[in-house]
Structures are given as C-alpha cells and as structure tokens.
Amino acid sequence: MANPATVPVLDYLARQQARHVDELREFLSIPSVSALAQHRHDVRRAAEWLSGRLARAGIDSVRIDDTGGHPVVFARTPLAPGRPTVLVYGHYDVQPVDPVSQWISPPFQPEVRDNVLYARGASDDKGQLFMHVIAAEAWLKTGTLPVNLAFLFEGEEEIGSPHLGDYLRAHRSELSADVAVISDTPMFGDEEPAICYGLRGLVTLEVSVIGPFQDLHSGVHGGAVMNPAHALAELLASLHDQSGRVAVDGFYDDVLPLSEEERQLFQRLPFDVEAYQNELRVPALVGEAGFTVLERLWTRPTLDVNGMWAGFTGEGQKTIIPACAHAKISCRLVPQQDPERIAQLVESHLRKHCPPGVRLDIVRGAGSPAHLTPLDHPAVKAAEAAIEAVFKRPAAHIRMGGSIPVVADFSQTLNVPTVLLGFALPNENFHAPNEHFHLVNFHRGAQTIAILWEKLGAAYV
Amino acid sequence: MANPATVPVLDYLARQQARHVDELREFLSIPSVSALAQHRHDVRRAAEWLSGRLARAGIDSVRIDDTGGHPVVFARTPLAPGRPTVLVYGHYDVQPVDPVSQWISPPFQPEVRDNVLYARGASDDKGQLFMHVIAAEAWLKTGTLPVNLAFLFEGEEEIGSPHLGDYLRAHRSELSADVAVISDTPMFGDEEPAICYGLRGLVTLEVSVIGPFQDLHSGVHGGAVMNPAHALAELLASLHDQSGRVAVDGFYDDVLPLSEEERQLFQRLPFDVEAYQNELRVPALVGEAGFTVLERLWTRPTLDVNGMWAGFTGEGQKTIIPACAHAKISCRLVPQQDPERIAQLVESHLRKHCPPGVRLDIVRGAGSPAHLTPLDHPAVKAAEAAIEAVFKRPAAHIRMGGSIPVVADFSQTLNVPTVLLGFALPNENFHAPNEHFHLVNFHRGAQTIAILWEKLGAAYV
C-alpha cells in the first residue's frame, strides 16, 4: 500500500520521464572505460557530469574525491536527526567495448530502439545508479526525504575497485549508515523483480609463458624448442578435470555447502534451462555434476580464461614458434573462499605443472570475497514492500554469479548491511556488445527506490 | 681452381659491390608482404622493380605474368644451343613484420650496421635472389654466359605458393631446364657454406572453437557453459604426448626412417647444442627422445601452434567467457608424409577430442611435401666446386627444417632436379623481427653463383 506522501514524488517522476532519459543518454555518451589508460580523462569527465547532476537534484553537499586512481563522487543530504541514513552505492565506470565491430549502434552513442536504451553502461551501472539520483531529486523537489542519503559513486568497479578499500577506511565516519542500497544486479526475469542476497567473489591472475627470446621460424627451429603456446595450452587444460571441476588442489576446501532451504528456494524459481541454452546458442550446457544450472551459476566457484593470445593472429599464415603466450584468468568465488588463498593455489598449480623449456611469469590481480545477506534482515523487508507496491507482485529472492567487491567492503569496513535491488534484466549484455537497459524498468526502478526511502524511513522510526 | 673466363666476371662483381648494395636496399624498401591484402599493390611494385632490374642487367626477355594472385616475374637469356639451361628460382614476397615494435630499425627502411643489412626480406629471400641477378649481369657485361638462364621469381612463397603449381603446368615447356638452382637456404655456420639436399614440407590448418553467440559475463554465466578458450586449450594440449611426440593417430606412419649414413654425416657437422640453446635463450631444449637436435630439426615432423587467440587481450581485466577461440596450426613434414593425409589426420583428431558445449570449424590451408636430392647428383658436384673456389673449403651437406614448396613442384611437374645453395646464416631472423643478411656473404654468394654457371656449363659439355 503506497503512503500518501509518495504520491507527489511518483507524480514528479512520471512527468519527468523524457527528460530523465535524455540526461541518461548524455551520461552514457561519456566513454568512462576505467581499464584503459586512454580513457582516464573520460572517466573524470563522467565524475564531473555526475557531481553536477547531483547538485542540480538539490543536494548541496557534493564532492569529487581523488583516490590515487579514478575519483569517487560523494554527496549527502543534510543530516536530519531521527531518520535512518542510507548509503547508496553505484559505479560510473564501464567495461571496455571490444569487439566493437559487433555493436549495432556505437557503444558511446546511446540509441533508443523499441523503448530499450543501447549503450555501454546502460544497465551496468550508469543507468541503474541514475535511478537513485532522480528518486532523490523527486523527493527533494516535492516533499521531505524520509531518510538521510549518502551517495558513493566510484569509477573503478570494473577494474576491481583497487582504491575503494582505502577510501572507505579514510572516510569511515562520513560513510556510517544504517543500510546500504545498491542497484547493480538484475531482476530475475522480465516481470520478476528480485532482491539479490548473495554474490560471488572474484580473483584474477595473468599468466605469461616465456620461451625463446623472439618469435622463431617454425621450420628452422620446430622440433627442438618448447612452443610457449603448447605449454600454455597444457597448463590451461590442466586447470579442469574431465567432469568440469576445477582441478586445482584445495580449490573447494573452504566452500560453504548449499543449504537445503536455498536449494528449495531456487527450485521454486521459474527458470527454463532449455530457453537459457537457446538464448546463449550453445550446443549443450556443461558444468559440475550434482548441481542445477542456477546452483552452478550462483553457489559454485569457477575458473575461467577471459582471454589468451600467442604468436601470429592476423590474416593469412606466419609459420612461427611464438616467443611467448599469455592468458588472463579469473575465478568466481563463493562464501568462505579467500581470494588470496585461491590465487595462491592456482599459481602453485601452474608452477607445478609448467613443462620444461619455458619460464612462467604470473601476476595476481585484485580480489574480493563472496557475499551473503540474511534473508530476514529488516532492510530486505522494506525492499520487498517497495517492490510489491510498484510491480504488484512479490519479490524473488536470488543470488547472483557476478561480483560487487564493495559489498564485502561495506560489511567488513563499515559494518553496514547491504540490500541489492537491481532493475536490469539478466540478458542485457553487461560486459558484452550491445549492452542495453529496458526503459520501462528504468522508470519502475526509480519509483521503487522512491518508495523504498519511505519504507525505510518508517522501518527505523 | 677458377677458370680464366671467370676473372673479369669476378672483377666486375668486386667493382660494383657498393652499387649492388644500394640497389638491394631499394628493393628491400618495398613492403611486399604477400599475406596481407593491404600490401597487394606493394607486391606488384616489387615485381615491377625486379623486372626493370633484370632488363638493366642485359636480359631482354623479361615479363610480369599474372597468376590470379601475386604475379610471377619471368626472364630468360637467349637460348644458346649446346649449353645447359639453368632455372633460377627465388621469391620477392616477404613475411609480415609484427611484432613491429621489436625491430631496431623499421623493417622497410633497410639499414647497414657493421656490414650487416637489416630489413624484412634481406636474407629471405630478396637478398639471395638478387645475387643471381647480379651474377648473371656480371657475365652478360664481361663475357659469354656459359649457361642459358631462366629466372622464375614468385610473389607468393610466404603464403604457400597457391598459384605456382598452375603456373608451372601452364608454362611447362618454357621452364624446361637441366637443373634448378635456388638460394633460399642458409649456410651451416659463419664460415660453413652448405649445399642443402633436404627440406621439410608443410601443411597448415586454422581451428576455431565456437561457443556462445557472443562474449558472456563470466560472473553471470560462468559455471554453466563450456568456455571456448578452455576447449581450445584442451584440444591443443591433446596434440602432443608427454614425451614431445605428436599424439595424432597415424602421424608418423609414413615417415622415411633416417639412414645410418645421414646420421653419421650430421654427427660430423660442428653443431654446438649448448650454444644453440643459449642463442635462443631458452631454459632447456626439448624434443623427441632418440634423436639429436639436428635430427629433430631436419628429419622429424612437427606440429606447432603458430598463433592463438580468444577473448580479451587488452590492458587490464575484462571478465568474460569468450564467444570463440582460434588457433593457427602448421605441421612440418618429412619425406613420404602426404600433406593432405596429415591435415586430415589432425582434423580427425581435433573433431574426436572436441569437448561438449562447443562447435568446431576447421579450415585446411595449403600443403607441400618434403624434398630430398641425391647427394651424388652432378649439379651437386658443380656446386661443391664453386663453393670451394670462393670459400677455400669444402661444402657441408645439410638438410633443413624449413619448407620450399616449389622444390617438390619442380621435381613433380617439370622433372627438374634442384640444387639448394644458400648464403644466409641460420640466425639471420627469417620470419622474425630484425631480419638481416651479412653483406660479406651476399658478395661471396654472388661470386659462387657466377662460378657455378661456369662449372655447370663445363659439366654439361
């Protein structure tokens, strides 16, 4: 049941829809790719655009904080005693865009087709964070915010948030809050709004196999030297066994087993395995024996090669033995797995299995543990009510295979519980060509968030 | 002992050395990379330069013949009855240049440092074919050529000579000759001129592993789909066994065993295994048990990955499951192995070992069989005498691990025996960055060739 105070707020959002879409397109046209040095200036431009927009929303305390990497945009509404404080987190950086040739419209020229907005960052996460900005604006322009809001928008999520931990520690008191809300997760389906209570963690490694001092003529030298591409293939092949399990010693040691309650919760979700396989257009789904597809995606750890390269990859033939071969590897982690320990186990495995005739160079990247929020947490209950008010149906409770490192940081550093309340759809191509966001969910998401402030305000009275 | 008729010829070559190097630099500055469509026009420019130079050498019958691909430059001296006809083959196309950042001087800006000429094609094969042009010129300007010469210079050697077979069949009568001479092989060492009597063959394949319809978010989808990079690694790893042998069923079935005579010939060659390892800067040499390094390089077949790629290979992280993964594979073949059969065996192996959840696409490339010339052939004897006259030491008899498809074609289509008489050094970086040619051997090579014409003329009287 909607509280009367929310009527003018929702009315404001309804009247401003066209403007909000135009503004989002402007935001999305800034190529804030955090992984690429050439876009450093664009990342800052996105931060500046966002801070300007927060100020125009009526929030007078807005800052761009340097972090040593890409900046944090921090903003807060005046502290009203007696109201709970909500920490809103989002990220304004985006993934790289290659293979760029597969985009139907250019990734940084946002285009609306059939009420769907196409652009890199549309759903992950610029479009979703922007819902919070306009929900706050709607309250500020039409009534009294039922909560205190602190906005923490970072520019390094897609590169593993290397500076966010330090930032949180340095600003611990400013960031103190009753609850954190993040919209960087999907709904479960087109009409299936969801609260995500679990995320996988992540740890990355880059492996280089180094052979001869330069590329060699494969006729002159073939047969007497270890080909680094062969060595890398052998190493990568050794990382999984024939049943699809990760073959690294100790990899599963600390995995929290799946509870019978969760198993049943997932079985009740309307998940069509065949439709999923068809959607991905693969001849078969694979994975660990003994687990359903959702269980594999949400509750089991993985090891994936994200990229590999060696030798001549251009048009035609170049008959060489490559001087070196490289792979980017990442592991998705589940609760109780320690990123550092997993990276070390993988590194040990690679060193132990390295064939003769080549050298190994391994660089470990950033890591973050997995996350779980109790299903009976009061903020989860407020989110359930807000979803039901807008969508006219109960929220699904899901976990997710992706990783949002900040969720673990909020828990560990700030001792703030997090509600993950996202409005993207699962197949909106985050990290892939033709990323998009259904505008109907953009608008419903902003409404839900506006109501969530009211429900949270009431919950903490 | 040099024949008096060669004195003015050698004198001419000695006087023109500076000019000949300048001309070679001009030739090398044309980027005639046959593998890349963007260089199609440059390949033709190189053909035009070469035909112009042949005309200036005094050869009045010079043509550029279209082949459907890159052209052939064909030239011949007037047919003098009673003299043997020598077919000179070379190729004016060159390998691609990447990784271009590793070149000390740009690959198509030829530079002489310490009497060594650096450029793509310096030794493979523009520099070597040019020795034949100036040796012929020296005879034509100072005396009477003791042989009839036919020059066949192609522009597609580095892409497997796809049109040369047709060309040879179409011009069979024009190309009829007593012997073919090719300078596209190395000396055995700095002061070790060699006649190469054996070459490995070559066959290529390109393998694509095709998974989901596009790159997928490795968090959202990781654990339920076969990662094409994993599948490719598994496939490539399956191609060799732990002892370094190719693990494809039937791969060694037709291999001509090494004779005891050759084994002993190779053992007499001054080959320093440790120096070879140090030169390549690898921690260990590897290869098939039961064979020396030279035997592995010259007489055993191989399978090498020349390039592979999948997913994100740029700076930073992109946590995806790649939509597909690719590898370029080539096999070096030895006498009695049939390229088509080997390609089919490799393809069958890959299809048999392909894991579930992905599709395979395999494209077979051009192939050519290996080659052996009898050591007691009369043209080999003439080459021995020419080498001894210039280098003051006996020629080594070697085989080589590389592939020159035309040698098999000459034997099969034209029934012409071939003498391989090269003056590059083994470590002059053919196919690699900083390819070069020692100018002392460029000049000695031209002298040896000039004397070879005289010896061959005498041998066939």
* Cβ distance of A280 and B212 shorter than 8 Å: yes
Residue type at position B117: L
CA distance linking residue A247 with residue A225, whole number of Å: 27
CB-nearest to A284 from B215, B319, B357 is B357
**Domains of chain A by range and CATH?**
6-199+371-459 (3.40.630.10), 201-255+301-368 (3.30.70.360)
Pairing outcome for strands A436-438 and A116-118: antiparallel
- Are the C-beta atoms of residues A49 and A61 closer than 8 Å to each other? no
pTM attached to this predicted model: 0.77
CA distance linking residue B182 with residue B379, whole number of Å: 12
Residues facing A208 on adjacent strands:
A326, A361
Whether the CB of A2 is below 8 Å from some CB of chain B: the reply is no
pLDDT for residue B372: 85
CB-nearest to A357 from B216, B285, B355 is B285
Residues of A in contact with B204 (CB under 8 A): 317, 319
Determine the 3-state secondary structure of B34 from DSSP: coil
pLDDT for residue B412: 82
For residue B425, give how far its alpha carbon lies from the nearest alpha carbon of chain A (Å): 11
> What is the phi/psi pair of residue B365, to 5°?
-95, -165
DSSP alpha helix (H) spans, B57-155:
126-142
Residue of A187, A280, A294, A354 to mutate, interface with B, max B Cβ within 10 Å: A280
Q: If you ran DSSP here, which 8-state letter would residue B64 be given? A: E
Residue of A304, A329, A428, A436 to mutate, interface with B, max B Cβ within 10 Å: A304
* Cβ distance of A315 and B226 shorter than 8 Å: no
The reply to whether omega before B106 is within 30° of 0 (cis) is no
ipTM field: 0.77
pLDDT for residue A316: 87
List Cα–Cα distances, B98 to A215, A216, B107, in angstroms: 10, 12, 10
Nearest CA in chain A to B239: A230
From first to last of its 461 residues, chain B has per-residue pLDDT tens of 457 789 999 999 999 999 999 999 999 999 999 999 999 999 999 999 999 999 999 998 999 999 999 999 999 999 999 999 999 999 999 999 999 999 999 999 999 999 999 999 999 999 999 999 999 999 999 989 999 999 999 999 999 889 999 999 999 999 999 999 999 988 998 899 999 988 999 999 999 999 999 999 999 999 999 999 999 999 999 999 988 899 999 999 999 998 888 898 899 899 999 999 999 999 999 999 999 999 999 999 999 999 999 999 998 889 999 999 999 999 999 999 999 999 999 999 999 999 999 999 999 987 888 888 888 888 888 999 999 999 999 899 899 898 877 888 898 889 888 989 999 998 899 989 999 999 999 999 999 999 999 999 988 76
Whether the CB of B117 is below 8 Å from some CB of chain A: the reply is no
Nearest CA in chain B to A246: B223
CB-nearest to B316 from A36, A102, A220 is A36
List Cα–Cα distances, B451 to A96, B381, B386, B422, in angstroms: 62, 13, 5, 14
Percent of residues, chain A, with pLDDT higher than 70: 99
The C-alpha angle with vertex B384 and arms to B382 and B390, in degrees rounded to 5, equals 105
CB-nearest to B330 from A200, A218, A287 is A218
- Are the C-beta atoms of residues A254 and A337 closer than 8 Å to each other? yes
Nearest CA in chain A to B233: A233
For residue A262, give how far its alpha carbon lies from the nearest alpha carbon of chain B (Å): 18
**N-terminal to C-terminal alpha carbon distance within chain A:** 18
Whether the CB of B224 is below 8 Å from some CB of chain A: the reply is yes
Residues of B in contact with A214 (CB under 8 A): 102, 429, 432-434
Write out residues 274-333 of B within 8 Å (CB-CB) of A. Answer: 276, 280-288, 293, 296-297, 300, 302, 304-322, 325-328, 330, 332
* Cβ distance of A282 and B225 shorter than 8 Å: yes
Whether the CB of B32 is below 8 Å from some CB of chain A: the reply is no
CA distance linking residue A153 with residue A51, whole number of Å: 10
pLDDT for residue B317: 86
Whether the CB of A258 is below 8 Å from some CB of chain B: the reply is no
Residue of A286, A354, A404 to mutate, interface with B, max B Cβ within 10 Å: A286
Nearest CA in chain A to B316: A35
A333 is written with which tokens?
């982690």
For residue B126, give how far its alpha carbon lies from the nearest alpha carbon of chain A (Å): 17
Neighbours of B269 (CB within 10 A): 14
Buried b (16+ CB within 10 A) or exposed e, B322-332: bbbbbbbbbbb
* Cβ distance of B225 and A320 shorter than 8 Å: no
pLDDT for residue B2: 57
* Element spanning B285, H or E: none
* Cβ distance of B222 and A401 shorter than 8 Å: yes
**Per-residue pLDDT tens digits for A416-449:** 889 899 999 988 999 899 999 999 999 999 999 9
Residues of B in contact with A230 (CB under 8 A): 236-237, 239-240, 304-305
Write out residues 137-176 of B within 8 Å (CB-CB) of A. Answer: 158-160
* Cβ distance of A240 and B230 shorter than 8 Å: yes
Residue of B36, B159, B272, B286 to mutate, interface with A, max A Cβ within 10 Å: B286
Determine the 3-state secondary structure of B76 from DSSP: strand
* Cβ distance of B318 and A220 shorter than 8 Å: no
pLDDT for residue A405: 74
Residue of A43, A124, A218, A321 to mutate, interface with B, max B Cβ within 10 Å: A218
List Cα–Cα distances, A355 to A211, A308, B264, B284, in angstroms: 11, 18, 31, 10
Nearest CA in chain B to A238: B234
What residues have CB less than 8 Å from A272, skipping those under 6 apart?
A: none
Residue of B317, B324, B326, B337 to mutate, interface with A, max A Cβ within 10 Å: B317
pLDDT for residue B409: 86
Place of tokens 């000949």: B20
pLDDT for residue A111: 97
For residue A402, give how far its alpha carbon lies from the nearest alpha carbon of chain B (Å): 4
B352 is written with which tokens?
């048999």
* Cβ distance of A288 and B212 shorter than 8 Å: no
**Per-residue pLDDT tens digits for A42-72:** 999 999 999 999 999 999 899 999 999 999 9
- For chain A, the average pLDDT equals 94
